[in-house]
Structure 1
Amino acid sequence: MKLSPLSAAVLSVLAANLVHAESEVYHFEEVLVTANKIEQPLSEVAGSVAVITGEDLERKGATELYDAIKNEPGVSVYGGAGRPQNITIRGMTGNRILIVKDGIKSADGFGANDINDKIGRNSFDMSNLESIEVIKGASSSVYGSGAIGGVVVVRTKKPGDYLGDKDFYSDVSATYTGISNKYKGATNLAFRLGKFESLVNLSYWEGEETRNFDEDRYNRSIDGVGSGYTLNYWSTDALMLKGNVEYYKDNLSRKEGSSKIQKDGKWDTEDFDQQSYTETFSAYAGFEYLPANTWFEELDAKIYWRDMTNEDTTNRLMSRTNNNVSELRRTIDFRGFTDQLLGANADFISAFQHQNMNHTLSYGVNMETNLHERPSQSSVLDWNGVSLNADVPFAPARSYNFAAFIRDAIEIDHWTVTAGTRFDLHQLKPESQSTINGYEVKEQNSSEFSPSLSVSYQLTDSLNTYLSYNHGFRAPGYDKIYGYQNHDFVPITPFIIVPNMDLEAETSDSFELGSKFDNGQTQLYAAVFYQKFDNFIDVKQVTFIPDSNTGNYYKQYQNVNGVETYGIEASLAHRLSDFWSVSTKVGYVDGEDEDGEKVRTLTPWEGNAEVTYNDNAFSAYAQVNWAQAMSSVPQCENDLGIVTDCATTSGWASVDLGVSYSWTFGLDVSANVINLFDKEYIRYQDVAGIADSNKVYSTEPGRYFTVNAKYAF
């Protein structure tokens, strides 16, 4: 029987373990995760969680979401610097993925058909990160609405992470990445005064849009700033009061672009100017309490506020020749988006023993209110004078959500059973209007129970196997229920998307069967998964004959029967010595909708293999990244609304190299070369769901370098 490369690698590692069982053993550092509210070793979590540390991000010069998690099978980020960035997990993307930063939900994105091509999820600074934890699959039993496809948990560093036993810490760092010709500087200042601990963060960056292989995209210039202040006060050894304020702003400027589609034919661009920014304010105040003799061991409570604003103004001067007459037209388009959040939560952890069973109980409550609005205005100046059109793609909406959850991890001999549920009560109501373009908009109420259950068995001290089930849901979106989107400018098939007051929540049921082996020297994780999504919300055509008065067709977001995704993921890591280690990852996601058509955001077979050297002071790595060709794709619509072939991609492989060195006096320097052999290729995730003819500008960048230097005083 011929062995696959992965099987051969696994057998080789296990054989090496047997041969050298009595020799010196070299260990990986244990990785702890708190994605499920309870701190656990990664090897004991009954599910798939990917962890990227802040140190990893610094060493590889990562400054964007795209850079941070691009090498994790089953997980990808579409977009880059200067463009909307959205995370895909096991075939789900857009707002079906929840992002939580320090316990506060990140802002939604916005765009056509949930691809968030107008506003992405990159609305916070990547500096000062402790870790990014990616929960693969539904997690609404812990995180509620929006966690239907997965969760990205972002944690920042706190004053104590820098200070340790010292009373003062400061550092300054500089990063350059050639993928967007971006320069970034950052500094952290932490200090302790009596019972007070403080941390100040500042960062500034400037650069360009993420480039493609031929560097022939319209170029954007970017600049931005991030800042934060954290204050902790230890009232007693058991009680810490805490507060934080943060500010983030990313500015984009573009001086070249295409003309806007016009109803009266084709126009050429004479002058183009686009100015946009994303700005986020956030703050929280709360406390952490660890009492000695009460009915709970930990309490983490806070109130919080977050306000994200995106504004985009595009000014075009266009021209054409009509019957030998030169004509000019100027269009000025303004688009805004606001996502405001106010909330409070309290999370408890209790541990106790009952009838030879060890219980670790987590439970809590959460209350939130969100405001979403997207004002827009278009102006046209030509020989006909000036025309103004103020419009909104959805009625401004406010939502209210109350939730309570409980989760119990029960240890019985070699068994661990974890059961939990969360109840969400959701209300959505129009904020300031009862109609939108003649369609009534009204209050919507919904509720959802989200159960979860996992069973794991510890076969040996190093090997366990598990089966898990998780329910996910996403309350009907404000932009779908209250949406009115006019596309009457589309040639041939102009259409309007009208509101739907009868939308129901999307739901998912995720099943995963996996096994984890971790003896400190060798780590082998493998899992197969299946996800069933019901009441999936998608746009459907509701009229097939154009309106006799306007010529428009009508479409509407509706609940459809469902979508299925399934796949496999595996990872292997082995310590060869104190200094050398090897690792590899592989994954695949497939799926179909109710009509048997492939889901747009699938993942071909992909993975990477890495060899690493690390002697604490000096470290180096070489990594091969690869993906199989992708030809199983759905049908798409082009810019004219005509059905056409979706983009396909060829198989590819690339090589990355990196080195780092840490001096004893506090200086750390790292350098990386990405795509060493200057390979031209397209990742399927970057073109998923677009017409094949539109993928020409979606190539990955050629060879580029990143450099990071950090000095700690």
Structure 2
Amino acid sequence: MTLKHSSIALGVVTALLGTTDLKADEFEKSAEVLVVSGSRVEQKLSDVTGSVSVVTEQALEEEVSIDLASAFRYQTGITAQGSAGNAQAITVRGIGGNRVVYIKDGKRLNDAYEGGQGLLIGRGYLDIEGIRQIEIAKGAASSLYGSDALGGIVVISTKSPSDYLADAPSYAHLSAGYHGASDEQSLSGVFAKRLGEHAASIQLTRREGSQTQNFDETLPEYDYTSTAAVLKGELTLDAQSSLVASLDYYTQKTDQVLVAQSHETDEVNDSLSVSVLYKSSAVTALYDSLEAQVYFSDYEQQSNQIRTGADRSGSYVDNNDYRFEQQIVGTRLVLDKQLNVGDVAHQLVYGVDFDMYDTERPRYKSRRDLQGSLVKDNEAQKAFPGADTTLIGLFVQDNVTLLPNILTVNAGLRLDSYQMDPKRDALYTSDAIEKIDETALSPKLGVVYRISDGLSLVGQYARGFKIPPHDQAYQSHGVEPFYQIIPNSDLDPEYSDSIELGLKGSFDSSQFSLAVFHSTFDDFIANQLVRTEPTFIPNVSKQVYQYHNLEEVKIKGVEANMTLWFNDQIALDSGLTYLHGKNSQTDDYIESLSPLNGFIKARYESEHWSVTTALRAASRMDKVPAETAIETAGWATVDVFADYQWQDWQLNMGIFNLLDKEYVNYERVAGNAADISLSQYTMPGRYLAAKVKFTF
């Protein structure tokens, strides 16, 4: 599965500082990048007051990325956990999980629940084929996106029929890929066509792979297959308005057989969303442009398990049917209006979001003894009850040009109201499972001051908030007689206050950015041991846990980035991230931090081909929550990737972990005991990835 041969001579690269406002691979001096995460309408990246990282379609292809985890190899302030065929999670400056909101084509992606190691089970199941751009706004963003934007937002934009067609009447391509870390083989195709003034496109992707292995290739195997389909239609209503209808479907099936009829798991993740987006550029007294969208999404995870075990009554075989289901009905309205008040220019962006979540977590168990007698027949099991959640938010942001080409101010404010009502179920009788009803006000103030042509000083204050997650507020399960998690409906919302100061420079042969940030998180939710109880087993006590609000958590850090163009063919890019964060109450480090880390990339680009050598590294991690918590050693790896274009053919390939380095990302083991074996958590050894595409 991993390549254990081949050697490639490396060029010498020199160290530079870094953090990213733009995907590090984008060396070429291109047109100004446009983003929507800063104002919810298109805006130049240089006009955004906070840090935003952008991953383009070109970067995804160049680095032979196949999922979210591989898409963020070379980023500052961003780490990704999980692997192909598994749940994946993004952490932004030490904050991850449900504290980062995911938006895809204007729609909120499904919620999720904690599954250990910082992963959110149910999230990260999507295909990156057809993605035009991914933006990650770092730091609080609730002034625009409301709840869950406590630590940042991930905005995913897929390609429209017009993106494929440009001025052509039709477009088609086929691509095939291989990714050695998981032995994944993929096949994808796109077809787009103009139909008079209208246009339509369809994209289909199929992937088949297996467990992403550790360095020693000793992890238990599983196989996965996934199918993705995206259909879009653009209807031109008149010269100033259009409708975009889309259907986005994704399914993944995973099969694992460790011991036949004793330890088997098959899991299916299905996601379907449909939406209609109306756009208008007809200028009125209320707006210059308008976007109105309605959408529905349906996500279901089903995990069927066969497990053997034994208790005081003897041995048995369990058949478990565990599910997570969520439907979202949402609407959004975003309006944009340009105004001049005296000599001051205003761009007003305002609107409303309304989302309704229907979440369920059914779990059933059937049990037979070794004689085949039915002991339990589809018996309901506790986890947490479902919930009906309603979110409504009103927002406004004013992008004010006080001094043209010198001073701009972005001021935003959002009012949110939410209700989370647990579903009534005889399985859950605790008085602690009650309705949660709150409101939140989220302001933002940002400044861009242009010191000179190409050099800007930026600063931003932003407030974020997050409603208590349903899985934490209503958690009610355990493993007798060892532990139990009890619900807590008295959880308060989490709030964050983020301050960032930065310096950005963009010149003929160089580009850099430096950001210093500090975030304070109030009422941070964490699982805590609340008591112990005696059990029938001598010297064994049951541990009772409950989610509680911590008084305060603080995270601060520095990110820096520099790109140098030596000429039209050679460029050097680098990035560096430093994080420091503690629980203010206990003075303990928080476990979601990353060690000092960075990257250096050297790229040579010719007319039809390019080659890049990349070094990634992280320092030793000793800022751990307790003396008994695990620490990790520092590491460095080398990747080499190249692309070649000939007429209608495009080839991208890479060799990753070229020197076959055995190492562990601290994020994979954070919070574990110091004496655990690290072998199963090591990253893959040397492997090859390649993709070929033919455009018709």
Structure 2 residue 372 is matched with structure 1 residue 381? no
Deviation at 1:381, TM superposition (A): 2.2
Could you tell me how far apart the structure 2 residues matched to 1:223 and 1:446 are?
Answer: 41
Q: Which residue of 2 aligns with 1:263?
A: none
Q: Which residue of 1 aligns with 2:478?
A: 486
Structure 2 residue 452 is matched with structure 1 residue 460? yes
Could you tell me how far apart the structure 2 residues matched to 1:277 and 1:144 are?
Answer: 30
Structure 2 residue corresponding to 1:604, chosen from 595, 599, 602: 595
Query: Tell me, what secondary structure is at the counterpart of 1:685?
Result: helix
Deviation at 1:42, TM superposition (A): 2.1
Q: Which residue of 1 aligns with 2:325?
A: 338
Q: Which residue of 1 aligns with 2:682?
A: 699
- What TM-score, normalized by structure 1, do the two folds share? 0.89
Could you tell me how far apart the structure 2 residues matched to 1:659 and 1:481 are?
Answer: 48
Structure 2 residue 32 is matched with structure 1 residue 50? no
- CA gap of 1:703–1:435, structure 2 versus 1, over 3 A, is closer
Preserved contact between residue 148 and residue 473 of structure 1 (Cα < 8 Å): yes
Q: Which residue of 2 aligns with 1:501?
A: 489
Q: Which amino acid is 2:500 matched to? A: E
1:251-279, Cα deviation, whole Å (9 max, x unpaired): 1011117xxxxxxxxxxx98321100111
1:358-408, Cα deviation, whole Å (9 max, x unpaired): 111111101110011111122332258433241131111000111110001
Deviation at 1:318, TM superposition (A): 5.3
Structure 1 residue corresponding to 2:386, chosen from 389, 396, 403: 396
Once the two structures are superposed, the pairs formed by residues 616-695 of structure 1 within 5 Å of their partners are: 616-635=607-626, 645-664=628-647, 666-692=648-674, 693-695=676-678
1:639-663, Cα deviation, whole Å (9 max, x unpaired): xxxxx82221111111111111111
- CA gap of 1:603–1:438, structure 2 versus 1, over 3 A, is closer
Q: Which amino acid is 2:107 matched to? A: I
Query: Tell me, what secondary structure is at the counterpart of 2:596?
Result: strand
- CA gap of 1:438–1:181, structure 2 versus 1, over 3 A, is same
Q: Which amino acid is 1:699 matched to? A: T
- CA gap of 1:26–1:488, structure 2 versus 1, over 3 A, is closer
Deviation at 1:333, TM superposition (A): 2.0
- CA gap of 1:435–1:406, structure 2 versus 1, over 3 A, is farther
Q: Which residue of 2 aligns with 1:514?
A: 502
Deviation at 1:124, TM superposition (A): 1.6
Structure 2 residue corresponding to 1:577, chosen from 567, 572, 584: 567
Deviation at 1:351, TM superposition (A): 1.2
Q: Which runs of 5+ in 1 are unaligned?
A: 11-24, 258-268, 636-643
1:574-612, Cα deviation, whole Å (9 max, x unpaired): 111111111100101110112111111101111111111
Structure 2 residue 522 is matched with structure 1 residue 562? no
Q: Which has the higher contact order (CA 8 A, sep 6+)?
A: 2
Deviation at 1:47, TM superposition (A): 1.2
Q: Which moved more, 1:407-416 or 1:544-553?
A: 544-553
- CA gap of 1:556–1:114, structure 2 versus 1, over 3 A, is farther
Q: Which moved more, 1:76-85 or 1:301-310?
A: 76-85
Preserved contact between residue 65 and residue 126 of structure 1 (Cα < 8 Å): yes
Q: Which residue of 2 aligns with 1:256?
A: 258
Deviation at 1:112, TM superposition (A): 4.8
Preserved contact between residue 434 and residue 442 of structure 1 (Cα < 8 Å): no
- CA gap of 1:470–1:113, structure 2 versus 1, over 3 A, is farther
- CA gap of 1:138–1:520, structure 2 versus 1, over 3 A, is farther
Preserved contact between residue 123 and residue 308 of structure 1 (Cα < 8 Å): no
Could you tell me how far apart the structure 1 residues matched to 2:16 and 2:681 are?
Answer: 34
Q: Which residue of 2 aligns with 1:537?
A: 525
Structure 2 residue 171 is matched with structure 1 residue 181? no
Query: Tell me, what secondary structure is at the counterpart of 1:95?
Result: helix
Preserved contact between residue 198 and residue 229 of structure 1 (Cα < 8 Å): yes
Query: Tell me, what secondary structure is at the counterpart of 2:667?
Result: helix
Preserved contact between residue 159 and residue 190 of structure 1 (Cα < 8 Å): yes
Structure 2 residue corresponding to 1:126, chosen from 125, 128, 138: 128
Q: Which amino acid is 1:354 matched to? A: V
Deviation at 1:668, TM superposition (A): 0.5
Could you tell me how far apart the structure 2 residues matched to 1:124 and 1:74 are?
Answer: 22
Query: Tell me, what secondary structure is at the counterpart of 2:490?
Result: coil
Q: Which amino acid is 1:688 matched to? A: A
Q: CA RMSD in A?
A: 2.4
Q: Which runs of 5+ in 2 are unaligned?
A: 1-13, 20-26
Q: Which amino acid is 1:597 matched to? A: D
Preserved contact between residue 26 and residue 577 of structure 1 (Cα < 8 Å): no
Query: Tell me, what secondary structure is at the counterpart of 2:60?
Result: helix
Q: Which moved more, 1:36-45 or 1:432-441?
A: 432-441
Once the two structures are superposed, the pairs formed by residues 197-208 of structure 1 within 5 Å of their partners are: 197-208=199-210
Could you tell me how far apart the structure 2 residues matched to 1:531 and 1:512 are?
Answer: 9
- CA gap of 1:8–1:496, structure 2 versus 1, over 3 A, is closer
Q: Which amino acid is 1:633 matched to? A: V
Q: Which residue of 1 aligns with 2:357?
A: 370
Q: Which residue of 2 aligns with 1:30?
A: 32
Could you tell me how far apart the structure 1 residues matched to 2:424 and 2:157 are?
Answer: 36
Query: Tell me, what secondary structure is at the counterpart of 1:592?
Result: strand
Could you tell me how far apart the structure 1 residues matched to 2:366 and 2:93 are?
Answer: 42
Percentage identity across paired residues of the two chains: 29
1:81-115, Cα deviation, whole Å (9 max, x unpaired): 13221111111111111111111111122225782
Could you tell me how far apart the structure 1 residues matched to 2:136 and 2:18 are?
Answer: 26
Structure 2 residue 108 is matched with structure 1 residue 105? yes
Q: Which amino acid is 2:60 matched to? A: L
Q: Which amino acid is 1:341 matched to? A: I
Once the two structures are superposed, the pairs formed by residues 229-308 of structure 1 within 5 Å of their partners are: 229-256=231-258, 271-292=262-283, 294-308=285-299
Could you tell me how far apart the structure 1 residues matched to 2:400 and 2:304 are?
Answer: 55
Preserved contact between residue 283 and residue 289 of structure 2 (Cα < 8 Å): no
Could you tell me how far apart the structure 2 residues matched to 1:9 and 1:243 are?
Answer: 40
- CA gap of 1:333–1:517, structure 2 versus 1, over 3 A, is same
Preserved contact between residue 215 and residue 679 of structure 2 (Cα < 8 Å): no
Q: Which amino acid is 1:363 matched to? A: Y
Q: Which moved more, 1:40-49 or 1:573-582?
A: 40-49
Q: Which moved more, 1:27-36 or 1:209-218?
A: 27-36
Could you tell me how far apart the structure 1 residues matched to 2:224 and 2:194 are?
Answer: 36
Q: Which residue of 2 aligns with 1:359?
A: 346
Deviation at 1:350, TM superposition (A): 1.0
Q: Which residue of 2 aligns with 1:711?
A: 694
- CA gap of 1:443–1:655, structure 2 versus 1, over 3 A, is same
Q: Which residue of 1 aligns with 2:5?
A: none
Could you tell me how far apart the structure 1 residues matched to 2:409 and 2:148 are?
Answer: 25
